[in-house]
Structure 1
Amino acid sequence: MRSVSEGQARRSSVSDRSPGARRAVLRTADGVSIEAVYESCTAGFAEDHGPAGGTAIVIAHGFTGSVDRPAVRRAARVFAQRAAVVTFSFRGHGNSGGRSTVGDREVLDLAAAVEWARSLGHSRVVTVGFSMGGSVVLRHAALHRGRTEARTDAVAAVSAPARWYYRGTAPMRRLHWVVTRPAGRLVGRYGLRTRIHDRDWDPVPLSPVESVPLIAPTPLLVVHGDRDPYFPLDHPRMLAAAGPAELWLEPGMGHAENAADEALLARLGDWLVNAVRPPGAERPEAAREA
C-alpha cells in the first residue's frame, strides 16, 4: 500500500499537557502528520532519564489503537516509572493524518517518534511494539540501523506476527475482511475509528521474520502470550529462531497491550532500560531502595 494524506492532523505547537508531559504534531518523511505525547520519567532520576539525556521508551500501539487508548496510557504510566516515554498514534489512527497501511509505511511514523525523542536530548532511545506495532518495531530496527537519529538502541516486540497474510485464526480472518473489503473499511472508519488505505501493498514490505536477522547486534526481545487468539506460538518461536533474541512466552496472556498487565509491563520496562544501560550504571530499583 502507498500512503496518501487524508486531511491534516490538528496543527499545534508543542504544548505542556502536565508538568512532565507535552503534546506535539510530528511530520513523517512522506509528509503525514502524526500526533505524539512526551512524558518525563516519574521516578525522579533526572540525571539519567530526564530531557537532558538518558533513556526514552517509544511505544508503538496495535491496529485500531491510539495514543489516548487506556491500554496505551497504562503502558506509558508503568514505563514512565523507569524512563521517559513517547507515545504516538499511527497514521490513520486517532488524530494522526493519512490512512493505515497496516504495518508498511508505519515504519516512517515510528522513525519520526524516535527522532523526536533524540531531538529532546535522549542519548538512548528504545522501542516496544504491540501486535501491528510489534511488526513495525522489528522492521524499523532492521531498516534504520544506519541512521543515527532514527535508530533504536533496543527493541521489544509483543504479540507480533512473524509473517504476512496469516489467516489461520478467526480473529485474523475478521481483520483481513476489515482491511481488504470496502464494507470492512467502513466498519474500520466508523466502528473502530481507523482509516485504512484501499490499495494493496506494492511492493510487499520486508516481513517481521525477514527483519530479525538484520537487527543484531541491537538487543531484541520477543514476548507472546500462550492464549493469544490472533497468532499461535509458532509466530514468536519463528521470530526468536531467526536471529539473536530473548523469548518470553507468557502463561495465560492473550493479545497485545490490552492483555499486558502491569507486572508484565514492569518487566518489559526494566528489560528495555537495562538492555542499553551503560556498564556500571545504577539500576533504578537499587536507587529507589537506597
Structure 2
Amino acid sequence: MSTGPAGHVARSTIRPHSETGVEGRKGPLRTFLSTWDGVRIDSVYEPGAVVYEESGTRSGRPGSPSGRDGLVFVVAHGFTGDADRPHVRRVARVLAGYGAVVTFSFRGHGASGGRSTVGDREVLDLAAVVDWARGLGHTRVAVVGFSMGGSVVLRYAALSRVGGGAGTGGGEVLGAGVDAVVSVSAPARWYYRGTAPMRRLHWLVTRPAGRLVGRYGLRTRIHHRDWDPVPLSPVEAVPRIAPTPLLIVHGDRDGYFPLDHPRMLAAAAGEHGELWVEPDMGHAENAAPEALLRRIGEWVVGRAG
C-alpha cells in the first residue's frame, strides 16, 4: 500500500457540497471532502447538545462554535466500519453530550471513495476531516479513534501540530493539528498475527479471496498493494504527540490485541500519556460501554474543552 512521494506536503483540499458555516445551526450537515490525494470522504457534522458557559458549567441549549463550546469530537471508526454503522452512531450520540461531533467513513468504507489501505493513507482522510472541522469555526478539536482508527489518530497527531511543529520527516506538517487524542483498542505495532482474529484479518487483507469477502460481505473495498514504504508505527508515533494530551484505552478482554499493545503505547508516551485498562471490555466501538464513552467525553472536556 503505497504512500505519497517523500517531500510532498500532505495537506487536504476541502470541497464541501454545501455551506460551511455552523453559527446557530441546529441540524446535521453531510458533505464530501476531497483529500490531498483526491479521495472523496463522506463526512457528517452534528452540533453538540450542550454548550459551556463562561464559568465552565454545562448548559443544555445548542450554541455557536465559540469559546468553550468550540469543542468538536472527530470520531475515527475501526476497520469495516463507516459513518452510518449503529456502533459509530452510538459513539456520536454519547459524545454529542460534550461537544459537536464529526463522523466520517474512511476511504474504501461506506459511501467514501477509494480503497482501504488499512491505516496508511487514512491519515489523509483524517487530515481532511480535521481541517473541515476547524473551518466550521471550532476552536478545539479532539480525535477519538477505535482499532484501525485508533492507530490513525496516533499517527496523525504525531505528524501534525496546532500552529506547526513536527512534520512528516521532511519538515512538512500534516494538517492543522488537534488539541486532544483518544486511542481505543489500537495496535502498538504492525503485522501482528498473535491472535486468531488478527490472522483472519491478515487473510482478508492480503488474499484475493479475502478482499472479495471484504468487498461483498463487509462492504469494505481493500487495496491490493502492500505498504511501500511501511508507515510510522503507532508505538513510534506516540512519543511525537507530546505535549498534546493523550489517552490510551484498552479492554482487558480484547480478542485482537492483548494488553502488551496498550502498555507499549503507554510506555512510549511516558508522562504525557494516560492509560485506562477497562475490565471486561472487548474490542473497539462495539465493546465500549456508554459509561466509558461518557468518561472519555469528560476527559476531553477537562483537557481540551
TM-score, structure 2 as length reference: 0.84
Q: Partner of 2:49 in structure 1?
A: 42
Please tell me whether the aligned partners of residues 57 and 127 of structure 1 are also in contact (alpha carbons under 8 angstroms): yes
Q: Partner of 2:35 in structure 1?
A: 28
Q: Alignment partner for residue 52 of structure 1, among 60, 65, 74?
A: 65
List runs of 5+ in structure 1 lacking aligned partners: 5-10, 278-290
SS of the equivalent of 1:242 reads: helix
Q: Letter of the aligned partner of 1:158 in structure 2?
A: V
Counterparts of 1:228-267 in structure 2 under 5 Å?
228-243=254-269, 244-267=272-295
Distance in structure 1 (CA, Å) of the matches to 2:191 and 2:246:
24
Distance in structure 2 (CA, Å) of the matches to 1:120 and 1:73:
21
Please tell me whether the aligned partners of residues 183 and 249 of structure 2 are also in contact (alpha carbons under 8 angstroms): yes
Counterparts of 1:92-131 in structure 2 under 5 Å?
92-131=108-147
Instruction: After superposition, give the CA deviation of every residue in 1:6-55 in whole Å (9 maximum; x if it has no partner).
Output: xxxxx982389x93211010111111000000000112548888443210
CA 1:148–1:109 in structure 2 vs 1: closer, same or farther (change >3 Å)? Answer: closer
Distance in structure 1 (CA, Å) of the matches to 2:158 and 2:93:
28
Counterparts of 1:35-184 in structure 2 under 5 Å?
35-45=42-52, 50-53=63-66, 54-145=70-161, 146=164, 147=173, 150-184=176-210
Instruction: After superposition, give the CA deviation of every residue in 1:67-100 in whole Å (9 maximum; x if it has no partner).
Output: 0000100000000011000000000000000000
Q: Partner of 2:17 in structure 1?
A: 13
1:273 matched to 2:286: no
Root-mean-square deviation over aligned CA pairs: 2.1
TM-score, structure 1 as length reference: 0.89
Distance in structure 2 (CA, Å) of the matches to 1:183 and 1:225:
31
SS of the equivalent of 2:44 reads: strand
CA 1:222–1:66 in structure 2 vs 1: closer, same or farther (change >3 Å)? Answer: same
SS of the equivalent of 1:35 reads: strand
Distance in structure 1 (CA, Å) of the matches to 2:248 and 2:16:
36
CA 1:3–1:186 in structure 2 vs 1: closer, same or farther (change >3 Å)? Answer: farther
Deviation at 1:261, TM superposition (A): 1.0
Deviation at 1:272, TM superposition (A): 1.4
Please tell me whether the aligned partners of residues 159 and 174 of structure 2 are also in contact (alpha carbons under 8 angstroms): no
Please tell me whether the aligned partners of residues 156 and 174 of structure 2 are also in contact (alpha carbons under 8 angstroms): no
Distance in structure 2 (CA, Å) of the matches to 1:31 and 1:101:
15
Q: Letter of the aligned partner of 2:17 in structure 1?
A: S
Q: Partner of 1:2 in structure 2?
A: 2
Q: Letter of the aligned partner of 1:102 in structure 2?
A: V
Distance in structure 1 (CA, Å) of the matches to 2:232 and 2:186:
14
CA 1:234–1:56 in structure 2 vs 1: closer, same or farther (change >3 Å)? Answer: same
Give the % identical residues: 71
SS of the equivalent of 1:265 reads: helix
Give the total of aligned pairs: 270
1:195 matched to 2:221: yes
List runs of 5+ in structure 2 lacking aligned partners: 5-14, 57-61, 165-172
Q: Partner of 1:215 in structure 2?
A: 241
Instruction: After superposition, give the CA deviation of every residue in 1:137-172 in whole Å (9 maximum; x if it has no partner).
Output: 000000112259520111000000000000000000
